[in-house]
Amino acid sequence: MGNLLQFIGKNHVLLLFILLEVCAFLMIVQNNHFQRVAFINSTNVVTANTFQTLSNWKNYFSLKSANEQLALENAKLNTLISHKGLNDTIASVLPKQYISAMVINNSTAKRNNYLTIDKGIKHGVEKGMGVVTPNGVVGIIKEVSEHFSSVLSILHGKSKTSVVLQDSHYFGSLEWKGGNYQNAVVNDIPSHVELNIGDTIISSGYSSIYPADIPIGTISRINTKSHKNFHQIDILFLEDFKQLKYVYITKSILSNEVQKLENNNE
């Protein structure tokens, strides 16, 4: 309190001047129509800009919540479509359950890469479920805790994924050989099959892990020897694994039945 009084005492002339200026300004605005309108318009502009700025900041900080909600809605829609059998592929025979998740940790530079996602046992996640995006196959659930899961990435030395050529429907096996996280190889496509650079590789749906017809990559190089029975194919992933943020966990609702039937054939 003493400091405040001391400050007022030292600057009383300046403070009195400011007070008189404010009073004069208010009197001018109060008694002159033009100045009053101009002041109100200026005030409205400043207020509107302030609210707009605050709104922009609010929207920015709410993007995470909005994206999570959008991912959840997409997962629900995918599940409904699968249940109704609207796809004319194997996915209509094996309806899928989709669970949206966010990637909280990811590696791409190791020989064997993993991801961590923010869904676990509490959310219905189990070992062996597939993890996908609209642009490709991501991996398989390896370990599960109450709230989180570890995913064996498709960028892993032991990962093999059944794929097909979108146009000819010949199937093969996709593997990542290490090195560049954007590239992989496809094996077991017969050498008599006609291929072109840019042809699309999609998921086959032959296993109960991944849905069918998910675009995975495009052929970037064909290096087939004339005496070989199978093509040597390099592909470029459509998904950028360094920018993974939201994914879908998927499981065939009838996978146990299919697995039991196939085991009886062995």
User: What's the CA gap between 110 and 65, in Å, rounded?
Assistant: 31
For the stretch 73-105, pLDDT in tens is: 565 455 444 444 444 444 444 456 788 898 999
Q: Which phi and psi angles does 233 have, rounded to 5°?
A: -120, 130
Q: Which of 203, 185, 201, 187 lies closest to 250, judged by CA? A: 203
pTM for the predicted model, two decimal places: 0.65
Instruction: Catalogue all structural domains in the chain, each as residue range(s) with its CATH number.
Output: 2-61 (no CATH), 64-255 (2.40.10.340)
Vertex 103 angle, CA 100 and 109, to 5°: 140
| Residues 185-238 pLDDT 10s | 999 999 999 999 999 999 998 877 888 888 999 999 998 887 889 999 999 999
* Contact status, residue 133 vs residue 248, Cβ threshold 8 Å: yes
Q: What contacts 24, CB < 8 A, 6 or more positions away? A: none
Q: Name the pairing type of β-strands 136-144 and 149-153.
A: antiparallel
Q: Yes or no: say if 142 and 127 are a contact pair by the CB < 8 Å rule.
A: yes
